[in-house]
Amino acid sequence: MNTDFTPHQQALREELREFLAEQLPPRWVGVWQDARSIEQSEAITVAMAERGWLTYYWPAEYGGADGTVWDQVVIQEELFAHHEPRGSQYMGVNWIGPALMTYGTDEQKKKYLPEIASGQGFWAQLFSEPDAGSDLAAIRTTAVLDGNEFVINGEKVWTSYANTAQHGFLLARSEPGSTRHKGISALLIEMDSPGIEVREIESTIGWHRFHGVTFSDVRVPRSALLGGLHEGWAVAMHALPLERVGNARYARSTRVLGLAESARRAASDADEPEVADILALGRMAELLNYQAAAIKEANGTLDWQASMAFVANATYEQRVAAFAERVYGFEAFVASGDDLAPAGGEIESFVARQAPTVTIQAGTYQVQLSTIARRALGLPRAL
Amino acid sequence: MDFTLPDTAQELQHALARWSTDGRRVHYPRTAYSRESWTDFLRWELLSPDFGDTLHRCVGFMEVSRRGLPGPVLEAYLAVSADSSGQCSAALRAGSVVTSVGPAERANSLVGWGAVADLVVDQVSGAVLATAALPAAQFAYALPHGWIVRDSAPGGDPLQAERWLFGAALLAGLAAGALELTVEHTSVRHQFGKPLAAAQAVQFPLAELKMWCEGLRLSVLDAALRRDLGHELWPVSSALAWLNGAQAARLVTSVCHQSFGALGFCTEAGLVNLTWAMSWLRLSVGVDSARGYVVANTEPRLDSDGRPDPGCLVLDGFRSKARP
């Protein structure tokens, strides 16, 4: 047993910090601010790729550096502690690329993996639908084979990055009349295909944070199929835990805790007990995430451990946000466009945009609890 | 990083689990205390200074406490640690009940298992305070704790980090045991035609407890490992583990009793022995000193300009302020 990073990983961390200090624009608080922040994100992603850091832990044959899972953890922590400048590219790196390595054809690997590794290809996850959110197996979007093409019809919602993505990772029902987990296929599609319409769903949590995507007789080649026909559920279940464990959200939470602590210290030391309790929770979140990474490293199947890491991240994040709200009062909601925004808008981004939504991303908090209840505690499926 | 326990620690865990299941189930957790179980526990030598490393001792403490505390496990361990004469170890080898008391501001102090003690030791000085059972305190529940009257304790608390770490290990076991009992109960108890656990209102809080129990277990192992490696900040990681233990214990107590209903407060269910033991540890050790220690001995997570240091992760918060 060992719970420390190696000197190599610490050195990588230092290099990344220097890089991010140079590359990040002033008042950087993430990609959800405006069109310019998306451009800045793409530039940083390419710069990371040029240094070999974007897909550092991928095998060299796919454009990586044969780094370890722990190298990747370090990279994720540093990026999340700096408000995740990779934007949508985290999806390509963390779970779409690995899913391609497991299920992709040679042609698909050749087409997409070098592109992700170079920081060029951007993706949208096309899973949720108006009547299929937490209950992903309720999707109705169809992808029916017609000769050598799939014809796609339906609607996806809550899709981030659909306005800028070139590719989409789509789950659709390919077997007519099928229900639940059966008869679903995973397809890799081009977002500029005729018949795809993207519209923004305006929200209070970021510029172009959500989109609706409609498919009207969209035709994609059969070669877009990832994994077996009608076997997309297995692909999704392989990929989703990778998504959950790839989010080092705890790192950003600790950064914001430091900010709130500094603001409070100027006025009072009365919060020290609460800070200590929150730090303890933060260490617990780290360890649960590291345990999941260790399972991933051992090529084990990520199951309830990934859900547990998610729940710990969410608990920690919302506790930090509650503390920050108390410290800053309503100023916590003053955004980066205002010169008087606390910490250049970092607090607003965290308190108003990130923390309130942590429990509804990558599967809801309740879905994760359900997974833990069934898989770790052996309890029956509950309604 | 590697989260796999050494083979020897896994073997110890399995052996203690078998002992708990086969040998202690009759008494624990349904019986608060029996001399017979205490002496049986002592045969494992988990309290001996020569037992082995911290990791193995913590693994042992976690496994034993899943079915309740067989006696003053933490107090006896701290007594052995404070005693330089070897008297406590000898007494334990003879099957005695050895307990101890830490620094206290009041003249009257509660001593864990003091009412059945053969030897009571001061955790700060290692001095013997009593060689016979103390006057029993009257509790809402049958904990055999006793009162001692003494002069105000001398300054310093050399065993505080040990108290946090091994206390957290015991809390981890007790919390896991309480959750196991509750999962078992809610799976067999039917209401409205279904097991209680089939209701989300019951199931989700139990899933949250599982996260806390697993996180606490990892916190304890993390701190134990650092102590074994001589890491300068093992007391900080021990304090963090203890704070997680205290938070987890409160949640586990609340949720498990709510799930059990009235039965949870009845001796026959066993739950109350676990939750009372958690309350005793949580309140007798306290959290104030651990909180103060964490804040005083970690990086402030800020740079010299008051901005968050890029190295502001909790893991880097383990760096001592004194470290170059």
For chain B, say whether A93 makes contact (Cβ under 8 Å).
no
Tell whether B248 is covered by a domain.
yes
Tell whether B136 is covered by a domain.
no
Give me the pLDDT at residue B139, please: 86
Sort out which chain A residues have CB atoms less than 8 A from B220's CB and list them. Answer: none
CA distance B136 to chain A (A): 34
CA distance A41 to chain B (A): 19
What pLDDT digit, counting tens, does each position of B86-103 carry? Answer: 999 999 999 999 999 998
What pLDDT digit, counting tens, does each position of B191-234 carry? Answer: 999 999 999 999 999 999 999 999 999 999 999 999 999 988 89
CA distance A71 to chain B (A): 11
Sort out which chain A residues have CB atoms less than 8 A from B312's CB and list them. Answer: 81, 254-255, 257-258
Tell whether B10 is covered by a domain.
no
- Using CA atoms in the order B102, B103, B109, B114, what is the torsion angle rounded to 10 degrees? 10
Subunit contact A379:B183, Cβ cutoff 8 A: yes
pTM: 0.92
CB B243 within 8 A of CB B292: no
What is the domain-level CATH number for residue B225? 1.20.140.10
Sort out which chain B residues have CB atoms less than 8 A from A21's CB and list them. Answer: 310
Tell whether B187 is covered by a domain.
yes
Tell whether B272 is covered by a domain.
yes
CA distance B127 to chain A (A): 32
User: Which of A1, A81, A3, A2 is closest to A287 using CA atoms?
Assistant: A3
Sort out which chain B residues have CB atoms less than 8 A from A290's CB and list them. Answer: 1, 3
Q: Which residue has the higher pLDDT, B322 or A222?
A: A222
Of the residues A134, A296, A379, the best mutation for testing chain B's interface (the one with the most B CB atoms within 10 Å of its CB) is A379
Return the number of other C-beta atoms located less than 10 Å from residue A271's C-beta.
Answer: 18
For chain B, say whether A286 makes contact (Cβ under 8 Å).
yes
* ipTM of the modeled complex: 0.94
Sort out which chain B residues have CB atoms less than 8 A from A82's CB and list them. Answer: 310
What pLDDT digit, counting tens, does each position of B147-157 carry? Answer: 999 876 556 89
pLDDT at B266 over 80: yes
Subunit contact B211:A21, Cβ cutoff 8 A: no
Tell me the residue range of the domain where B209 lies. 160-296
For chain B, say whether A347 makes contact (Cβ under 8 Å).
no
Section B71-82 average pLDDT: 97
Instruction: Annotate B197-249 with DSSP letters as a single string.
Output: GGSHHHHHHHHHHHHHHHHHHHHHHHHHHHHHTT-TTHHHHHHHHHHHHHHHH
Domain count, chain B: 1
Tell whether B139 is covered by a domain.
no
Subunit contact A315:B211, Cβ cutoff 8 A: yes
Tell whether B126 is covered by a domain.
no
For chain B, say whether A11 makes contact (Cβ under 8 Å).
no
Of the residues B214, B291, B301, B313, the best mutation for testing chain A's interface (the one with the most A CB atoms within 10 Å of its CB) is B313
- Sequence-distant (≥ 6) Cβ neighbours of residue A332 within 8 angstroms: A324, A325, A342, A347, A348, A351, A352
CA A171 to chain CA centroid, Å, is 17
User: Which of B122, B239, B320 is closest to A277 using CA atoms?
Assistant: B239
Point out the residues of chain A with pLDDT beneath 70: 244-246, 265-271
What pLDDT digit, counting tens, does each position of B52-64 carry? Answer: 999 999 999 999 9
**Which of A279, A287, A373 is facing B218, going by the closest CB pair?**
A287
CB B148 within 8 A of CB B109: yes
Give me the pLDDT at residue B323, please: 37
| A221: preceding bond cis by omega (within 30 degrees) | no
Subunit contact B302:A366, Cβ cutoff 8 A: no
Tell whether B59 is covered by a domain.
no
Give me the pLDDT at residue B196, please: 95
CB A130 within 8 A of CB A155: yes
Give me the pLDDT at residue B256, please: 98
Give me the pLDDT at residue B307, please: 54
